[in-house]
Amino acid sequence: MKTMNYESSKWSREAIDDVPVDEEELARKRKRRRIIVAIVLILLVLVAAWMMMGRGGSAGGEKGPPAKAAMRGGGQMPAVTFIVPNRQDVPIMISATGSLAAVRDMPVGVAGEGGQVVRVLVEPGQTVRAGQVLAIINRSVQSQQAAQLAAQIDVARADLQLAENNLQRAQSLVSRGFISRADLDQKRATRDAAAARVRVAVAQLGATRAQIGRLDIRAPANGLVLTRSIEAGQVVGAGSGALFRIAAGGEMELLARLPQSDLARLPVGAVARVTPVGSTNAYPGSVWQKSPTIDPQSRQGVARIRVPLNDEIRPGGFATAEIQAGSQRVPLLPDSAVQSDSRGTFVYIIGPGDTVVRRPVVTGQVNDQGVAITDGLNGDERVVQVAGAFLNPGQKVRPERARPAR
């Protein structure tokens, strides 16, 4: 076994020593390495020469900023897209917040003498019509009084009939001298008194029935029941306060609080969009009244915005409003054209000679169409559409007008 291992090892060394070497392949590899090193050296020389030329041009003053910009851009000025905004009508929007309420919040209480509540017929959230019974009060005593008065009417009418018969008999006898004219006048007066007693009894019965009718608590107008503070078995009277609250006509409003300056420029009839808190829905409305006074503490007034009845429009809730207070004719720019820094808000315009000019502006309303410029632009300037950080005032550019959006 040892002899076999020795011979195997010796054979392996001899086999390695006899492997042939490819001289041509080695030569090709050396040539590729020399080419790569030469390319790298050439690139380094070119970079060094370019850096020396840049420093030399700055020191000698032969090449100014336009020349350097041309060198960096490969001999071409940067292309800049511009727009001419002109002037257009931009709506003036005022934002406001406030609480929701009924336009006419009517408290409903006891109109008569009151009594014990027998039944309540409506619940909050139901719509009612004018005169509809909301609650019924016990009327047993008043019903007995009405029956008594009805009986008294029958008695008075019977007395009237008797007096009328006596008068007719007396009139037939007076011509024959059996009854004096004084007796006839007496019977006529008795007949008239009986007729008057009938009318009194009828009036008393009508008053009692009217009192019974007032025991029922009725809706004073069409509307929406907001609250109920009455239960069956409860004793109510004139001092019980409001037992129901009804929104007349079901009309709701937003009591929007606005600064004095905004309230002054807000016209009655201005359209608005009201969004209740917690909702993504906006409901149309209109300003129907402005407060004639201003709170001396907050310097705010109230604009009343009428909104349609809806499940999300609930009195006592909170909502926001966007009110259109007219319009103004101003330039309108896209957001990309307006910039701001420590010196304020500005845009870049392309001035004479196609050079970049910084122009300070004052912005107004911001909406989906863009940013309204209330001061700083006439509308006929060439405004850089996308004012990026690559532009500098005084830089010469190659302007290209933006294509109109389709």
Dmax of the chain from CA atoms?
Answer: 191
pLDDT of 353-378, one tens digit each?
889 999 999 988 787 778 888 888 98
Confidence of residue 147 (pLDDT cuts 50, 70, 90): confident
Q: Lowest mean pLDDT: which of 78-82, 112-116, 292-296, 337-341?
A: 112-116
- List of residues 6+ apart from 269 with CB closer than 8 A: 286, 287, 288
Check whether residue 264 and residue 348 sit in a common domain.
Answer: no
Does the residue 319 lie in any domain? yes
**Are the C-beta atoms of 104 and 216 separated by less than 8 Å?**
no
Q: What is the pLDDT of residue 1?
A: 42
Residue 364 falls inside a structural domain: yes
How many other β-carbons are positioned within 10 Å of the β-carbon of residue 139? 19
Helix (H, G, I), strand (E, B) or coil at 353: helix
Same domain, 156 and 207: yes
pLDDT reading at 3 higher than 90: no
pLDDT digits (tens, 9 = 90+) for 4-51: 444 444 444 444 445 455 677 777 777 788 788 778 888 887 877 777
Residue 9 located in a structural domain: no
Backbone angles phi, psi at 163, to 5 degrees: -65, -35
Give yes or no: residues 256 and 231 share one domain. no
H/E element holding 25?
helix 23-60
**340-375 burial string, b = 16+ CB within 10 Å, else e?**
eeeeeebbbbbeeeeebbbbebebbbeeeebbbbee
Distance CA 125, CA 269 (A): 29
Whether 299 is in a domain gets the answer yes
What pLDDT was estimated at residue 13? 45
Last residue of a domain, one of 327, 351, 375: 327
Based on the fold, state whether residues 267 and 304 are members of the same structural domain.
Answer: yes
In this structure, the answer to whether residues 121 and 215 fall within a common structural domain is yes
Q: Which pLDDT value is given to residue 318?
A: 93
Whether 16 is in a domain gets the answer: no
pTM of the model: 0.55
Q: Let me know whether 116 and 230 are in one domain.
A: yes
What confidence tens digit (pLDDT) does each residue in 54-72 have? 554 444 444 444 444 443 4
Domain co-membership, 291 together with 389 = no
Tell which of 201, 236, 271 closes a domain. Answer: 236
Continuous segment of H or E residues that includes residue 170: helix 140-174
**Domain total in the chain:** 4
Pick from 170, 208, 209: which is nearest to 186 by CA? Answer: 170
Could you tell me the residue range of the domain that residue 303 belongs to?
Answer: 251-327
DSSP label at residue 62: -
Q: Let me know whether 261 and 384 are in one domain.
A: no
pLDDT tier at 287 (50, 70, 90 boundaries)? very high
Q: Are residues 222 and 275 in the same domain?
A: no
- The confidence score (pLDDT) of residue 2 equals 42
Q: 210 and 114 in one domain?
A: yes
Same structural domain, 111 and 169: yes
Asked if residue 1 belongs to a domain, the reply is no
Q: What mean pLDDT is predicted for residues 229-233?
A: 90
Q: Which of 252, 249, 211, 243 is nearest to 121 (CA)?
A: 243
The single residue listed with the structure tokens 């420590």 is: 342
Residue 356 is part of a domain; what is its CATH number?
Answer: 2.40.420.20
- DSSP structure class, residue 396: B
Q: Which CATH number belongs to the domain containing residue 318 in this structure?
A: 2.40.30.170
Give yes or no for residue 166 having a pLDDT over 90. Answer: no
- Average pLDDT of the residues of the chain: 81
pLDDT tier for residue 177 given thresholds of 50, 70 and 90 = low
On whether residue 390 sits in a domain, the answer given is: yes
Asked if residue 228 and residue 193 are part of one domain, the reply reads yes
Domain boundary among the residues 29, 63, 97 is at 63
In a domain, 83, yes or no: yes
Query: pLDDT by residue (tens digit) across 84-127?
Result: 888 888 888 888 999 999 999 999 988 877 888 889 999 998 99
